[in-house]
Structure 1
């Protein structure tokens, strides 16, 4: 094939590709799929986090609204962030924002719960609702600031 024929062929393929792209449905960003707006996340975000550089850890201070919820039942929706390379686990993180979203900001330290489930939960990229007993943790050396003990997958939506 001569040089000018190759250029014409490339131009035709490019034009056809552009035409196909114009006909394809536009991908839309759905913030409800990537960030969970369960009101409990706003309550958890009231915790104040500070760094203790000398000890190499983060510390959390919990307002009364959070301390009153400790050891009480909690129902919260979010996304699973696995801690183990398995398809299901009884120990994982539940986060506010789906970590698979390349456009979302990362989760803040107050937007993650360490979940200790009564039985293994299958990983899914979709939102799930968990219930359990809230435990507050004041130092990052002891785990995440929020833990959900005796947790189970809730039935129904929040």
Structure 2
């Protein structure tokens, strides 16, 4: 079973990368959506920090619904689908993250401007992925054209 990493910015559009990963790979898959975010700086924020609460706060209702649609549509192909946060700020930490999660491959946009992690105060994982030596599959999609959530959901549903 392959472990596939898909970077996300928690927009419905970014799930197109997930859809392509499911469609292009064979067999059952373990999929992980990953977002880059720095840990809080203050001790009091760290004491009350919860990764689960952070992920819930970053996921919009439409993102959760779109993810659910993909899980239902490709239920026979998905072994696991989870969302995680990468907190490190150097290549070594990222390589350890990949190894700890047993990642075999990643699906990334061919245009680095397609993902917008800065909108939710995150950071771009693409430079880390490119330096990791991991097998990368580039997907053509653009998140620059404003579309409605309904149009994006239609893109996810169309084979």
Say yes or no: TM over 0.5: no
Structure with greater strand share of residues: 1
Which protein is bigger by CA-based radius of gyration? 1
Report the TM-score when normalising by structure 1: 0.25
Structure scoring higher RCO (CA < 8 A, sep ≥ 6) equals: 2
